[in-house]
Structures are given as C-alpha cells and as structure tokens.
C-alpha cells in the first residue's frame, strides 16, 4: 500500500474496533474547513537535526494536504513557551496568543494545567486518536502520573536506553546503577550525563533515584508530601562518588543528548544513554556511530514515558493546531517518525490493531545490531510525579553548579 493511498482510506478501514469518542465526520469536516489557510505556530525543541528534518516534512505534508501553514518555532527549553503563554494570560491576552501548539513533557504539562493555560479537552476529537487504543494503553492518557483528560495528544514514546561501543567495551556493560559506578571508577572519563536542567540529564537523576532510594513509593506523590532530604540522600551520595570519574572529571557536562551522542561518535566516551530506544540504531544507519554500537536496558527496567503535544488556551488557530495534532497521529506520520533513517521515535499507535497493510508500514529492519527487540523494552518504570523533577533540578544546581 502506498502512503498516498493510505491517506485517502477511511479511518475505520485501518481499525479493528469502533471509533467511540472520535469526532463525528461532519464535526471534523468543519474543523478542516476552519483550519484551511491558518498559520500554526508550533513551539518545539530544536536540538536535534533529525527531529527538525522530520518537522520540516510535517510542514510540507499539512500544507499540501490541508492548506495549513505550519511554522516551527525552534526553542531549546519548553519552559520558555510555557512562560510566554503565562505572560500573555497575565497581560489579559485570552484569545490572540502567539503559541498554537507546544511539544510538552510532564513537568511543563503540569505547570500549564495548574495555571489553566491549556485548551481542551480536544484529544478525543481527533479522528486518529482512536488508533492509540487508550482503553488498552493508559500511558497515552497519563503524563508523569497526571491524567491528561484530553488536554494533550500523544505523539511518541521514550525509554532510557544505554548504548556502548562493543569494540571498546569487551566485557559486559554495567546493568545497574551500582555497577555503573563501579565501571566508571575502573574506566574514568568514559561516561557522563547531560548538564541539569537538560531533560535527558534530569531523567538520569530520576532513574538513579528510583534505583537508590529506600522509599520509591514517595516519588509518585507530590514532592511536598515527602521528606525530600531523606529520600534523596542516597542519590547525592551516589553522584558525589560518581562525578570525579565522569568525562572531564565531572567539572563539565555535555549540553544535551545530541552532544552526548557526538562524544560517543568522537570516541571520547565508551558508554552513553538516550531517551529514544531507536536512537543508537538510527545513528548507526546514518554512519554517525560505528557498527559495533550495541544497546541495552538496565536490569529491573528503565524509566519511560509518552511525549505529547498540547494547544494553549488562547491560541486563535485552534482548528489548525488540531489538524496538525491529528496528522501527527496518522499512520503515515507515525510510521515515518519511527523509521530509523528519519528519526527512529517509537509510535504511540497500537499497531497490533491496525489492518495488515497499514501494520506493514511499521516493520523495522531487523539486521541493525544496535536495535533492541521490542520485548527488551517490556519493563518500563513509570515517571515520578512532575514536582520531583523540578525539585531535583533545583537541588542539583545548588549542590554542583560552581564547583
């Protein structure tokens, strides 16, 4: 089946179950009519060339298919988009905002939800939302323990995945946080993590905290309900021991995941990690990492989540934003996003319930040695409450910045 043919097939032909809460055809047609000619300003992180190229492709597709002009507002911190919407609200701008769509993580979703900065609920109005089968996949309707309640639309999946150069690391790689510390002591300068408050670096802190604390149940409640110093004490003890053995002795940190990957490519590191399980394989396919790259997850599982897009409450181009969000959930867009030669970001669609021809779009090459099989990612640790991320970032900055 060609992608062009797929675009004109009725949605029901791709599904093995009814649409339930999806928009009625006539309602969605009115959204499409209203969206035509709109310019949608999408504030999205722009720190990776593959992601930017993918968004450029989305821009071309929604322009050609729906006459929507998508503008990628490139940001390096999603918090800046949240701050802009909050400032507009404070200034009384309730219907002519400058942000129409935003790529969110759980921390920023919580902030926008708490301050009534979100438009919705809209997710269930998107025809393609039904393809995620939320009734069987609760991760697409929960973000860092918080129910999305239709105020976000899922876009992709993430899970911490470690990778290494098998030619440089002949022994078994470390498969726990304790083993990682022992390995770093023997191999100084060959591992590091991104500088906080980078999202990937902050995720590493959460992964370590889950593994090290004696009271991990507290991480799934607001941080104010716990004794933060007691719960996090094992983490700071661990980092104090780890930092002297990191790249550049822990006095400097890479800015983000792409810079971490570059250090691996340049041979400065032997071991690294990512929040995209397919990233090492995609980098191998793109000749950015050597064919000797291998991926793995820690024993007991690694932290994972779903990333989303949302529409601010004061967007004047909500119809256009909904059309873009719906296209991002289409099998065409999801399959291309998952393609290792494009991005490699895992799909949020329940592929097992698509028809056979559509399902075939998601078949991945199996001979890439850096690509983990799906069953390797089966044990996913849930994200803590979003308040923990902010508290950990602040505490890390206070403890280590300036040292």
Query: Do both 11 and 152 map to the same domain?
Result: yes
Query: Do both 250 and 384 map to the same domain?
Result: yes
Q: What CATH number did the domain enclosing 227 receive?
A: 3.40.190.10
Query: Do both 237 and 383 map to the same domain?
Result: yes
Q: Alpha-carbon distance 135 to 139, whole Å?
A: 10
Q: Alpha-carbon distance 175 to 271, whole Å?
A: 12
Q: Alpha-carbon distance 350 to 137, whole Å?
A: 8
Mean pLDDT of 107-130: 96
Query: Do both 258 and 352 map to the same domain?
Result: no
Query: Do both 192 and 247 map to the same domain?
Result: yes
373 lies in a domain?
Answer: no
Query: Do both 396 and 267 map to the same domain?
Result: yes
Q: For residue 266, give every residue at least 6 positions away whose Cβ sits within 8 Å of its Cβ, in sequence order, or none.
A: none
Mean pLDDT of 385-397: 96
372 lies in a domain?
Answer: no
206 lies in a domain?
Answer: yes
Mean pLDDT of 361-387: 87
89 lies in a domain?
Answer: yes
Q: Identify the band that residue 403 occupies on the pLDDT scale cut at 50, 70 and 90.
A: low
Phi-psi map region of 150: left, alpha, beta (phi>0 left; psi -120 to 50 alpha): left
94 lies in a domain?
Answer: yes
Q: Identify the band that residue 367 occupies on the pLDDT scale cut at 50, 70 and 90.
A: confident
Q: Alpha-carbon distance 13 to 238, whole Å?
A: 53
Q: For residue 251, give every residue at least 6 positions away whose Cβ sits within 8 Å of its Cβ, in sequence order, or none.
A: 403
Query: Do both 11 and 110 map to the same domain?
Result: yes
Query: Do both 164 and 293 map to the same domain?
Result: yes
374 lies in a domain?
Answer: no
Give the model confidence (pLDDT) of 123-174 as tens digits. Answer: 999 999 999 999 999 999 999 999 999 999 999 999 999 999 999 998 899 9
Query: Do both 66 and 151 map to the same domain?
Result: yes
Give the model confidence (pLDDT) of 274-317 as tens digits. Answer: 999 999 999 998 899 999 999 999 999 999 999 999 999 999 99
Mean pLDDT of 52-57: 98
Domain of residue 36: give its range. Answer: 3-156+306-367
- Cis amide bond preceding 121, omega within 30: yes
How many Å from the N-terminal Cα to the C-terminal Cα in the chain?
58
353 lies in a domain?
Answer: yes
Q: Which residue intervals of 275-365 are DSSP H helices? A: 279-285, 318-328, 331-338, 356-359
391 lies in a domain?
Answer: yes
Number of compact structural domains in the chain: 2
Adjacent-strand bridge partners of 266 = none
Query: Do both 182 and 290 map to the same domain?
Result: yes
Query: Do both 239 and 386 map to the same domain?
Result: yes
Query: Do both 209 and 229 map to the same domain?
Result: yes
Mean pLDDT of 203-212: 97
- pLDDT at 231 > cutoff 60: yes
Given this model, what pLDDT does residue 376 score?
87
Closest CA to 391 of 255, 229, 238, 237: 229
């Amino acid at each position: 089946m060609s992608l062009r043919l797929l675009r004109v097939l009725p949605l029901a032909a791709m599904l093995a179950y009814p649409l339930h809460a999806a928009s009625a055809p006539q309602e969605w047609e009115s959204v499409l009519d209203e969206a035509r000619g709109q310019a949608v300003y999408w504030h999205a992180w722009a720190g990776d060339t593959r992601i930017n190229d993918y968004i450029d492709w989305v821009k071309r597709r929604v322009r050609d298919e729906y006459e929507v002009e998508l503008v990628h507002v490139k940001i390096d911190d999603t918090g800046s988009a949240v701050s802009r919407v909050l400032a507009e609200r404070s200034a009384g701008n309730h219907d002519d905002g400058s942000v129409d769509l935003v790529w969110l993580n759980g921390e920023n979703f919580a902030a926008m939800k708490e301050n009534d900065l979100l438009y919705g609920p809209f997710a269930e109005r998107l025809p393609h939302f039904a393809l995620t089968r939320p009734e069987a996949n609760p991760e697409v309707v929960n973000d860092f323990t918080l129910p999305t309640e239709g105020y976000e639309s899922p876009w992709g999946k993430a899970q911490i995945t470690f990778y290494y150069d098998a030619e440089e690391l002949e022994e078994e790689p470390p498969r726990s946080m304790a083993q990682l510390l022992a390995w770093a002591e023997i191999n100084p300068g060959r591992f590091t993590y991104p500088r906080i408050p980078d999202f990937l670096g902050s995720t590493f802190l959460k992964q370590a905290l889950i593994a090290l604390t004696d009271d991990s149940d507290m991480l799934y409640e607001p941080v104010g309900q716990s004794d933060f110093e007691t719960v996090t004490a094992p983490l700071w003890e661990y980092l104090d021991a780890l930092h002297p053995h990191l790249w550049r002795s822990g006095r400097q940190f890479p800015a983000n995941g792409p810079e971490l990957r570059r250090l691996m490519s340049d041979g400065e590191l032997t071991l690294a990690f990512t929040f995209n399980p397919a990233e090492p394989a995609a980098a191998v396919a793109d000749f950015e990492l050597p064919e000797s790259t291998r991926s793995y997850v820690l024993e007991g599982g690694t932290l994972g989540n779903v990333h989303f897009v949302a529409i601010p409450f004061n967007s004047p181009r909500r119809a256009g934003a909904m059309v873009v969000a719906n296209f991002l959930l289409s099998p065409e867009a999801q399959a291309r996003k998952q393609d290792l030669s494009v991005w490699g970001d895992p799909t949020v669609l329940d592929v097992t319930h698509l028809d056979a021809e559509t399902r075939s779009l998601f078949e991945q090459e199996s001979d890439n040695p850096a690509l983990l099989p799906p069953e390797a990612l089966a044990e996913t640790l849930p994200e803590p409450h979003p308040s923990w991320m902010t508290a950990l970032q602040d505490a890390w900055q206070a403890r280590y910045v300036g040292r």
